[in-house]
A and B are shown apart, each in its own frame.
Chain A
Amino acid sequence: MNLIVLALVLVIFLSLGSALIGLLRGGKQGSDKMFKALRMRISLSVFLFILLMFASFMGWIEPNNILPTQ
């Protein structure tokens, strides 16, 4: 499960990077590329958040709620 979460975070970063290239290029093409990449970025992020909620509900992943005590 951790690997899936990490892979999604990586793809989100790559989308953000792709949007930056669009921003740098400018013009109609760059603007289109940027918008599509940012749309992909937010869609994946929302999906990841929902996935975390679902995985937590199913008991596939545990949040770091409590400090270990000695």
Chain B
Amino acid sequence: MSNEKYYVPHGTYWPIIGSIGISTLFVGFANQMHGVTWGWPVMVLGFAIIAFMMFGWLGTVVNESVGGIYNSQVDRSFRWGMSWFIFSEVMFFAAFFGALLYARVLSVPWLGGADNNMFTPELWEGFKATWPLISTPSEVGQGGVTWSTNFKLVDTWGLPAINTALLLSSGVTITYAHHALRAGHRNALIAWMIATIALGAVFLGFQITEYGHAYHDGLKLTSGIYGSTFYLLTGFHGFHVTIGVIMLTVILYRIQKGHFDSDNHFAFEGVAWYWHFVDVVWLGLFIFVYWL
């Protein structure tokens, strides 16, 4: 760590492998969308190449870090890299929450004729603005056919509240893990990490169950603007929880390998922040979808 010169990475083949993986994934995806039979297998192959690249590339970085090659300049660049990643994540979810807000507060009332201009009431005759709106305004809704069905959402105090309690508990356990790491309590750290990973996994299980209930009750991705935004937000959130659980598992493995001490544990801090972020996004979902 004494060398404070700018760190220039060595030549590596991982970026090109990543590019091949992403290209393969998208070629497979595009063909799958067109109903080509080899679409799915090519997609899976692309995904496998990306997973292989991440395992190899991140493994190289971990080995370099443990090998003491990195100096404080590299530490700063990692912190900035993490910050830009987080910025993109915040913007990503802000766009979806923005879509939910726009649809609910502006566009749906406009379609119902609320204070927009003189044209909107005539667009879809008989349309009344309701929320949640689970059918898209179209000819289907005209002529006495109802715009929304008699439909009961999953009870807020059922799975959504249990899932909120689970994720908040995982936020508590990772905070205890963080404290244990800073205090040098290795066994407590490992125990709290295992608890956090378990809570995240149970959350995902319940989320899949809730999707099953919702689909069975008729709430689908095609169920109007509400169905679309509901599944986009909760689906991408679930995807992030999955990534978080994988990252926490890698960190647990690195803890057991003795990669961190009470002063140097940037990887843990990055993942811990990410987990707190995913937790806050869920809290936002719970409040804006189920409450306000």
Contact = CB atoms under 8 A, between A and B. Distances in A.
Interface of A: 2, 5-6, 9, 12-13, 16, 19-20, 23-26, 28, 31, 34-35, 38-39, 41-42, 45-46, 48-49, 52-53, 56, 61, 63-70
Interface in B82-131: 82-83, 86, 128, 130-131
Interface of B: 75-76, 79-80, 82-83, 86, 128, 130-132, 134, 146-153, 155-157, 161, 164-165, 168, 171-172, 175, 178-179, 182, 263, 266, 269-270, 272-273, 276-277, 279-280, 283-284, 287, 289-292
A23 B171 contact: no
Contacts, number: 115
A70 B132 contact: no
Where chain B touches its partner, the secondary structure class is: helix
Listed residue (A5, A34, A52) with the most chain B CB atoms within 10 angstroms of its CB: A52
26 contacts: A5-B287, A9-B284, A12-B283, A16-B276, A19-B273, A20-B86, A23-B79, A23-B83, A23-B273, A24-B82, A25-B79, A28-B263, A31-B263, A34-B269, A38-B272, A42-B172, A42-B175, A48-B283, A49-B168, A49-B283, A61-B291, A63-B290, A64-B153, A64-B156, A64-B290, A67-B152
A63 B157 contact: yes
B292 A5 contact: yes
Given A20-B83, A23-B269, A28-B263, 15 more contacts: A5-B291, A20-B86, A23-B79, A26-B76, A26-B79, A35-B178, A41-B171, A41-B276, A41-B280, A63-B157, A64-B132, A65-B155, A67-B130, A70-B128, A70-B146
Given A35-B182, A67-B148, A49 B164 contact: yes
Nearest to B289: A64
